[in-house]
Amino acid sequence: MNKYVERIYNGLWKENPTIVLMLGMCPTLAVTTSAINGVGMGVSTLFVLVLSNLIISLCRKIIPDEVRLPAYIVIAASLVTVVDLIMQAYTPSLYDALGIYIPLIVVNCIILGRAEAYAGKNEPLLSAADGLGMGLGFTVALIIIGSIRELIGAGTIFNHTVFVSRPFPPIAIFVKSPGAFLIIGFLIAIINALKIKNRSGELVNGCDEGCMGCSFAQFQNPQAAAAKSTAAVKNATAAVKAATEQARTDAKKKDGNVSASSGKGENK
C-alpha cells in the first residue's frame, strides 16, 4: 500500500480519532445533534488539520523544542481564525449552530496530538496525508453519529423527512447529551467486534502451529488443548526439578572444594 494512502486509511479506520482513539469528544458530543452540524464541524477540523500538519512539518527544523507547543497553537489559531471568519460570512446559520466549538478547534486534542506525534517528525506531504486521513475519519464519524441521532430523535436526515408515516415516534433523548453517549458507545462496540473478528481470522489463517497460544484451537478441541496444557505443565515441572538438582549438585561440589582447600591449609 502506498505510504500516503496508508496514512489516509489509518485515520479513517485503524486509528479513527473518534471511534478508536477517543479524541475530540467535546465537539463530538455537543454538535452532533444533526448531520449538517457534523459536516460543518468535520470539514472545519479537516481544513485546520491538513494545513496545520503541512505548515508544522515545513517549520519543524526551525521551531525550537522549548517553544514547539506554543508555536503549534499559534499556527492552529491562525487557521481557525480563517475558518471562523469564512463560516461567519458564508454560512451564518451553521456558524450560529456550532457556536463556541469553532474557536475551540484550536485546542482540539486531534490537532495538537497529530502535530506533536506526527507532523513535527515527518516530511510535509506525508504529514498532510496524515492530517487528511485523521480529518476524514473525524468527519465521517461525526456525520454518522449526527445522522443516527437526527434520524431517531427527529425523524429526519439533513433536515429532510425520511419516513412519510413514521414507524415510531421521535425519541427526543437522542438529540440530547445522553443520546450522544449511547450512539458512540454502540459504534465503539461494533468497531471493536469487527476488529476482534478480523484479528482472530488472521491468527487462524496465519497459523504457526503454536496451538498452546491459539484461542481458536482451544475452542474447537478443548480436550486436545487441555492435554497439551497438562503436558506443558509436566515438562515445565521436570525442567524445574532438573535445574534444582543441578543447583544442589553444584553447591555440594563447591562445598567439597572449600573443605578440601581448608584441609590442605591446616596440614601445611
pLDDT at residue 209, as a whole number: 47
DSSP H or E run through 160: strand 160-161
DSSP string, 13-77: IIT-TTTTS---HHHHHHHTTSHHHHHHHHHHHHHHHHHHHHHHHHTTTTS-GGGHHHHHHHHHH
Phi and psi at 203, nearest 5°, equal -65, -40
Q: Three cell numbers at 163? A: 419516513
262 pLDDT higher than 90: no
- Averaged over 3-21, what is the pLDDT? 91
86 pLDDT higher than 80: yes
Query: Which alpha helices (H) appear in 206-221, and where do they start and end?
Result: 215-220
Q: What is the value of pTM for the model shown?
A: 0.72
pLDDT at residue 162, as a whole number: 81
Query: For the chain, what's the residue count?
Result: 268
15 pLDDT higher than 60: yes
109 pLDDT higher than 50: yes
| 124, 118 Cβ separation under 8 angstroms | no
132 pLDDT higher than 80: yes
Among residues 43, 104, 113, the alpha carbon closest in space to that of 72 is found at 113
The better pLDDT of the pair 248, 103 is held by 103
Mean pLDDT, all residues of the chain:
84
4 pLDDT higher than 60: yes
Confidence category of residue 198, pLDDT binned at 50, 70, 90: low
pLDDT at residue 154, as a whole number: 86
Confidence category of residue 214, pLDDT binned at 50, 70, 90: low
Partners of 160 in beta bridges: 157
Model pLDDT for residues 28-85, shown as the tens digit of each residue:
999 999 999 999 999 999 999 999 999 999 999 999 999 999 999 999 999 999 999 9
pLDDT at residue 228, as a whole number: 67
Q: How far apart are CA 215 and CA 200, in angstroms?
A: 9
Contacts of 237 (CB under 8 A, 6+ apart): none
Is 144 exposed, middle or buried (CB count within 10 Å of its CB: 0-12, 13-18, 19+)?
middle
Q: How far apart are CA 47 and CA 158, in angstroms?
A: 22
pLDDT at residue 216, as a whole number: 47
- Percent of the chain clearing pLDDT 70 (strictly above): 81
Point out the least confidently predicted range of 2-11, 33-42, 232-241: 232-241
pLDDT at residue 130, as a whole number: 96
pLDDT at residue 204, as a whole number: 47
Model pLDDT for residues 133-185, shown as the tens digit of each residue:
999 999 999 999 999 999 998 888 898 888 767 677 888 888 888 889 999 99
